[in-house]
Amino acid sequence: MSELQNKVKELFEKNEIDLFIGYEKGTRKPRPVFVSKKEDIENLIFDDNCSGNLAVYLTRKDLVGGKKAGISASYYALKSIAQLFDENQLKEENLRVLGISKEGKVKLFDSAEEIKQHLTETPPPAKLEDDELVRKMDAMTPSERWGFWTDELSKCFKCYACRSACPMCYCTKCIVEVNRPQWVQPWAGTISNMEWQINRVMHLAGRCSDCGSCGAACPLGIPIHILTHKMAESVKENFGEADGNGNVLSTFKPDDKENFIH
């Protein structure tokens, strides 16, 4: 048995979990697996290829509601879990988080604080392709950038796979489904697609972990995760690192440099 499988077995034996959300071998890359019986533990794997953000399942009530869950958390899943704790979406007593320590060992995190501490000491994994795309976009003029996104987003057919893949999109009713008033037109079209993505990105300001799952889920390959990446950069530049006291759109500081706050 691997180190991970042993730890998960122990969690089941001590009745600390009823369900474990992890990865198993997939056809091309590791895929999510939901283990509720000890016999299935042997399918679990956890290595550098396990990069999908499994934290998305932690707010799915049909899956984890009323259960004690364990999870294999990649770097970005840990970031999402820390944010979900800050937003009171998770309870420490119902969750066991396994990640990879600085020494490359499977580590059981005891608390949200310990996860946050680990994140401050661990550099994010390299994302070379995304860095290249960001560099290209930064080199564009505003009108070239507008042209790029108009072109890309005109392909969107509103399947909302980007929303389903995101751990932070957990509202029971999304703004795109509200029709009194109708904030975002339900059909696909260049303007309404822009409206959808602008809304999505604004709602994720200061909350996005930069995991890239939204872009990876898009069946048309639209690099929408770069939009949230740029938003995260801009939030950090203007408001600093998240401090666990809410997100940038739901809090304010009396010493904010903008005058309208006074």
> Which residue has tokens 């369900």?
19
> Which residue has tokens 């364990």?
70
Site for ligand SF4 in 38-97 (CB under 6 A): 53, 80
CB of 17 to ligand SF4, least distance (A): 24
Instruction: Say which amino acid occupies 202.
Output: M
Determine if 231 is a binding residue for ligand SF4 (CB under 6 A).
no
Task: Closer to ligand SF4 by CB, 209 or 247: give it.
Answer: 209
x/- map, 150-189, ligand SF4, by CB under 6 A: ------xxxxxxx--xxxx---------------------
Site for ligand SF4 in 89-108 (CB under 6 A): none
Q: Count residues contacting ligand SF4 (CB under 6 A)?
A: 28
Q: Please give the full DSSP string across 40-84, using - where no structure is assigned.
A: GGGG-B-STT--S-GGGGGG-HHHHTTS-EEEE--HHHHHHHHHH
Q: How far is CA 168 from CA 7, 46, 187, 199, 258, in A?
A: 27, 23, 24, 13, 27
Terminus-to-terminus CA distance in the chain, angstroms? 60
Task: Closer to ligand SF4 by CB, 11 or 176: give it.
Answer: 176
Which residues contact ligand SF4 (rule: CB under 6 A)?
A: 53, 80, 156-162, 165-168, 204, 208-214, 217-218, 220, 222, 224-225, 228
